[in-house]
Amino acid sequence: MKASHFALAASLLFAAGCGNRAVDERIALLGDEDPNVPVGEFHRPGQPCLLCHGEYLQETPVMTVGGTVYAFPVGPNETPLPVKGVKVIMTDSFGETFSVGTNCAGNFFVREDQWKPAFPLRAELEYPVPGAEGSTKRVVMSTRISRDGSCAGCHAGPPNQGSPGWVTCAETQIDPPFPPQEASCPGAKK
Ligand code: HEC
Ligand code: HEC
């Protein structure tokens, strides 16, 4: 390798280690914190948690998986209804399973010190069926998640040709309906 090529390769490595412009831009596009929501488990629903809580920025807590579960898809200018108490069940390539529940913002996450799965991952949901105490329904993602621990890396916004859309329990509102978000939940519509 010529010395000039070596210098170029070294500078590219350096750039990758210290800042990735494409990732920085994706993070900037997420915008500022919602002033009505404290920074913590309820914040930034629907966003790709690991852009900030992953290996790159390593905001505390560092996560291996994180996302938000909604009831059913809505139009492009509407906010989908988050669902609390959904069990998110993940199985890694060794067959090891880890489950975690969603909070009132629909958010869930797995801290790196709780579970460090070997990708690809299988994901499924068990959501509480509205109006049927103790009864749950299962929704399975048929393909595998190859390496992105942020569900919203793919599941963002309304479904369209390029995206499966938000992670949702059902395809439309059901009967009896999914309950409204708890008014006491940080960020809930008042
Ligand atoms: C744009 C960057 C960004 C995104 C996206 C993001 N967070 Fe955070 N989060 C932060 C920062 C910054 C903190 C504060 C870290 C600290 O206190 O050192 C934080 C803190 C937290 C905390 C810790 C609160 C505490 O008291 O220790 C939790 C839990 C959390 N976020 C969950 C999530 C979840 C779940 C998602 C995805 C739905 C998410 N975050 C998306 C930047 C982000
Ligand atoms: C690499 C992109 C990608 C990531 C990351 C991803 N998904 Fe998916 N997901 C898809 C695609 C594409 C589909 C539709 C096809 C299928 O079912 O596999 C889907 C479907 C699903 C379904 C089934 C939806 C239905 O109505 O049948 C569930 C549930 C789901 N995903 C949950 C999750 C969860 C939870 C996460 C995060 C832990 C996640 N997904 C991360 C791409 C992704």
Q: What does the pLDDT look like over 114-139, one tens digit per residue?
A: 999 999 999 999 999 999 999 999 99
Residue 173, both tokens: 């509102």
- What is the C-alpha R_g of the chain? 19
In ligand 1, the atom with minimum distance to the C-alpha of 67 is: 38
User: Mean of the pLDDT values across residues 72-101?
Assistant: 97
Bond before 120 cis per omega within 30 degrees: yes
The verdict on whether omega for the bond into residue 61 sits within 30 degrees of 0, i.e. cis, is yes
Amino acid at 22: A
Rounded CA gap, 44 and 187, in Å?
10
Query: Quick one: pLDDT at residue 19?
Result: 83
Give the number of other CB atoms < 10 A from CB of residue 82: 26
Burial of 30 (0-12, 13-18, 19+ CB in 10 A): middle
* pLDDT at position 99 over 60: yes
Residue nearest to atom 42 of ligand 2 (CA): 154
Residue identified by tokens 């069926």 is 129
Residue type, 140: V
Q: Is any ligand 1 atom within 6 A of the Cβ of residue 103?
A: no
Q: What is the pLDDT of residues 12-56, one digit of tens each?
A: 444 444 589 999 999 999 999 999 999 999 999 999 999 999 999
The percentage of the chain sitting over the pLDDT mark of 90, rounded to a whole number, equals: 87
Tally of residues, the chain: 190
Tell me which of 76 and 100 has the higher pLDDT.
Answer: 100
CATH number of 45-168: 2.60.40
pTM here? 0.93
Which residues does ligand 2 sit against, CB inside 6 Å? 65, 67, 88, 123, 125, 139, 141-143, 145, 148, 151, 153-155, 164, 167
More confident call, 178 vs 19: 178
Nearest alpha carbon to residue 61 among 115, 100, 111: 111
CA distance linking residue 69 with residue 127, whole number of Å: 10
In this prediction, residues 75-91 reach a mean pLDDT of 96
